[in-house]
Chains A and B, each alone.
Chain A
Amino acid sequence: AQSVTQLDSQVPVFEEAPVELRCNYSSSVSVYLFWYVQYPNQGLQLLLKYLSGSTLVKGINGFEAEFNKSQTSFHLRKPSVHISDTAEYFCAGVIQGAQKLVFGQGTRLTINP
């Protein structure tokens, strides 16, 4: 991807509420898309990825994302969040055939009890 934009820098939600973290990409060619999660004082961990096939991708910890080519989006969703989901989430993309991931600026998800 030439660029990846995460539309929200912070998202506060209440525990057990649904959440959507938004991500848009720009690219004139086919891309692979990823979501990573970073818990406090840790490295980035892969949540899920879209390489090809079904546009609805399921990841770890109950998260899923949908690849929408017409809207150039890859939004991350979870139907019911838990306190332990508090973290920073990064969307990233790469042009197929390339190796250099382009990261969004991150979205800080805060879960309130």
Chain B
Amino acid sequence: DAGVIQSPRHEVTEMGQEVTLRCKLISGHNSLFWYRQTMMRGLELLIYFNNNVPIDDSGMPEDRFSAKMPNASFSTLKIQPSEPRDSAVYFCASSRKGRFHGYTFGSGTRLTVV
């Protein structure tokens, strides 16, 4: 079990550029959650998917953010155009089918927009 894998671990980009964050779920997990963590706001749920279908995107800050799950094991979070206030650590987490046992988190992507 390789765990939830996120890439890249660090991303530094200039304001206005497009940023794509990637997440690979654990095999056998069917729910995927994207979180953002900042000092000011703590952990915020941005969006989650169940069986590749977006269930709740009420946490997505604005239209500049979009997330996709093209297959059962992979997801992307895109920010276009990026702004300095998007600087944060972005985590994805997955949970398995059946009875809920909590989430398994990836190591996160630290995004810095300058």
Contact = CB atoms under 8 A, between A and B. Distances in A.
B106 A105 contact: no
A43 B101 contact: no
Contacts of A36: 105
Q: Is the interface of B mostly helix, strand, loop or mixed?
A: strand
A44 interface: yes
B107 interface: yes
A21 interface: no
B104 A46 contact: yes
Size category, A interface: 20 to 34
Nearest to B56: A100
A34 B102 contact: yes
Interface stretch (B43-51, B61-69, B78-86): B43-51
B95 to A, nearest CB: 6
B54 to A, nearest CB: 13
Interface in B23-59: 31, 33, 42-43, 45, 48, 50, 55-56
Contacts of A46: 102-104
A43 B48 contact: no
Contacts of A109: none
Interface of B: 4, 31, 33, 42-43, 45, 48, 50, 55-56, 91, 93, 95, 99-108
18 contacts: A32-B100, A34-B102, A36-B105, A43-B4, A43-B107, A44-B103, A45-B105, A46-B104, A49-B101, A51-B99, A92-B102, A94-B100, A99-B31, A99-B48, A99-B55, A99-B100, A100-B45, A101-B33
Interface of A: 32, 34, 36, 42-46, 49, 51, 90, 92, 94, 96, 98-101, 103, 105-106
